[in-house]
Amino acid sequence: MSRIACINGRLLAPEDAKVSVYDRGFLYGDSVFETIRTYGGRPFALDEHVRRLERSAAQVAIPMPLDPPAFAIEIERALAAAGNLESYVRATLTRGSGPLGLDPRHAAHPLRVILVEPLKLLPVSMYRDGVSVITQRTERACDAAHGAKVGNYLASVLAIRKACEVGAHEALIINTAGQIVEGTTSNVFVVKDRALITPPEEAGILAGITRAHILAIAGEAGLSVELRPLQPDDVRSADEVFLSSSLREILPVVAVDGAPIGDGKPGPHTRALHLVFRRHVGMGDAKAPWEG
């Protein structure tokens, strides 16, 4: 298994991958990014990811140095160079380098960085037994960027630090309106009376690619879909709760702020939906993540 970096189209070993200390992504978090994983060695929903990267860049006025199809080809070339059975990709676009100062006009040449890593799955026990989460009130950089996937994750880093202090896996973000919008690196779903409920994009969430696919296939698992704001009590009183992200897929939550969800075990609807998702991505013949 190998790691590869691709900087402005140039393939490099990780130890040779360097960017300027004057890059605005380093100085100010002035960047956007995507995380992508492979199934059977092929990047899942690659076109959707690069199109969202383009939208994020437009929302924060970073010019795309490549059009989405060319960016996708560059990602595929980096994946091929790594040669892993399965990989995950972090594709980042910064505004570029320039003199110190916040004025974005100081940087005229965006920098693109593609990092390819061997895919490391979460432990089987997390899917088998579920995970605990906390709730955390905070304001996020993306709140000012209208849902763009921006590189400034300080609020999320601090929220995860709080979660780790109490042995939790994730922190669910409560916005200024008192609503749970998402996790630090995940979307959140509630199952109640066979309805799958998750906040709408208008709530200020990052509309995850995996989230979109889950909503599209929910009916196959016998679930209706409701897009509406989530109050903390909606989560605490849910029949089931789970997180979604490109790397986690569907991860059951069994406790919030130390209180159990339902019977404190991964629920049947979460399990059924995860199996449908695995078929959807072409992994229906593989073991379920909770089986090892």
Q: Is the dihedral of CA 49, 55, 59, 62 positive or negative?
A: positive
Once rounded to an integer, what is the mean pLDDT over residues 150-160? 89
What is the overall mean pLDDT for the chain? 95
pTM: 0.94
Q: Would you say residue 149 has pLDDT above 90?
A: no
Look up residue 183 and give its two tokens: 């996790």
Class of residue 138 by CB neighbours under 10 A (exposed 0-12, middle 13-18, buried 19+): middle
Q: Would you say residue 11 has pLDDT above 90?
A: yes
Instruction: With cut-offs at 50, 70 and 90, classify the pLDDT of residue 143.
Output: low
Look up residue 236 and give its two tokens: 């605490």
Look up residue 229 and give its two tokens: 């704001």
Q: Mind listing the pLDDT tens digit for each residue in 176-224?
A: 899 999 999 999 999 999 999 999 999 989 999 999 999 999 999 999 9
Instruction: With cut-offs at 50, 70 and 90, classify the pLDDT of residue 138.
Output: confident
Look up residue 173 and give its two tokens: 């973000």
Q: Mind listing the pLDDT tens digit for each residue in 161-174?
A: 999 999 999 999 99
Fold observed for domain 124-291: D-amino Acid Aminotransferase; Chain A, domain 2 (3.20.10)
The one-letter amino acid code at 247 reads L
Look up residue 151 and give its two tokens: 């590189």
Q: Mind listing the pLDDT tens digit for each residue in 58-89?
A: 999 999 999 999 999 999 999 999 999 999 99
Distance in angstroms (rounded) separating the CA atoms of residues 203 and 198: 10
Instruction: With cut-offs at 50, 70 and 90, classify the pLDDT of residue 155.
Output: confident
Instruction: With cut-offs at 50, 70 and 90, classify the pLDDT of residue 238.
Output: very high
Q: What is the pLDDT of residue 50?
A: 98
Q: Mind listing the pLDDT tens digit for each residue in 79-121?
A: 999 999 999 999 999 999 999 999 999 998 999 999 999 999 9
H helix runs in the chain, sequence order: 24-28, 46-59, 68-82, 124-129, 154-165, 209-217, 232-236, 268-280
Class of residue 177 by CB neighbours under 10 A (exposed 0-12, middle 13-18, buried 19+): exposed
Domain residue ranges in the chain: 4-118, 124-291
Q: Would you say residue 255 has pLDDT above 60?
A: yes
Q: What is the pLDDT of residue 147?
A: 66
Once rounded to an integer, what is the mean pLDDT over residues 276-289? 95
Q: Which DSSP helix (H) or strand (E) runs through 255?
A: strand 249-256
Percent of the chain with pLDDT over 90: 91
Q: Is the dihedral of CA 160, 251, 130, 88 positive or negative?
A: negative
CATH class of the domain comprising 4-118: alpha beta
Instruction: With cut-offs at 50, 70 and 90, classify the pLDDT of residue 150.
Output: confident
Q: What is the pLDDT of residue 165?
A: 97
Distance in angstroms (rounded) separating the CA atoms of residues 11 and 286: 32
